[in-house]
Amino acid sequence: MTRRLADVAAYAKVSEATVSRVLNGKAGVSKATQQAVLTALDVLGYERPTQLRGQRARLVGLVLPELQNPIFPAFAEVVADALSRRGITPVLCTRTAAGVTEAAYVDMLLEQQVSGIIFFGGQYHEAGADHRHYHLLTERGLPVVLINAAYEDLGFPRVSVDDGHAIEQALAEGARTFHFLRGQEPYKYEWGAADRWNQHREFRRAKNHVAAA
């Protein structure tokens, strides 16, 4: 019990006494602090007290920008399988041009009291996109992970390809000519694509290699 209190307190950045008050349903703890403690319990894998189990479901939202691009369903399948093996139910949310927006999905997932959200590509690296729903997630203290992302300003954990390292590795293995392929709209001019293109050009200049745009 003592170790659990210490682990949760460290993760939630509160005192062990505050964690104890939350776990025992004592008054005098703000809603934001209570949510931070409950999030820490979920993330660290500790069982919630019976009276608190209904406050956040063992659900994780998987938000995809589309299903036509095969990379997104492939990502979602692997992550959904890993979540299911841990007793967590994935909730698949797919954006469409004339359908539910990413922000609307975030509102819905918050209403469902999910334990976290994973974004597989999204508005976080679309130029000029509205990021207010990401800031809302930060305020709520909900665990969020960005997949296939290179955008740093939001402060979420990210899983993405190190394009610079990939080019260095290719050079080390004897590659001498590089070709850069951009996606179709709207991804052609997204922040991630632009960043990869800039890295590609910098390496081209540095190594004096010829590449086709």
The answer to which of 28-37, 75-84, 176-185 has the lowest mean pLDDT is 176-185
Nearest residue to 39 (alpha-carbon basis) of 144, 111, 124: 144
When divided into structural domains, the chain yields a total of 3
Q: What local confidence, expressed as pLDDT, does residue 196 receive?
A: 62
Q: What is the CATH number of the domain that holds 120?
A: 3.40.50.2300
Contact 160, 148 (CB under 8 A): yes
Instruction: Give pTM, 2 decimals.
Output: 0.60
**Regarding predicted confidence, which is higher, 99 or 188?**
99
Residue 186 preceded by cis peptide, ω within 30: yes
66 & 139 share domain: yes
Give the model confidence (pLDDT) of 16-40 as tens digits. Answer: 999 999 888 888 898 888 878 887 8
Q: What local confidence, expressed as pLDDT, does residue 140 receive?
A: 84
152 & 198 share domain: no
Taking residues 74-94, report their average pLDDT: 86
Provide the residue range defining the domain that includes 37.
2-53
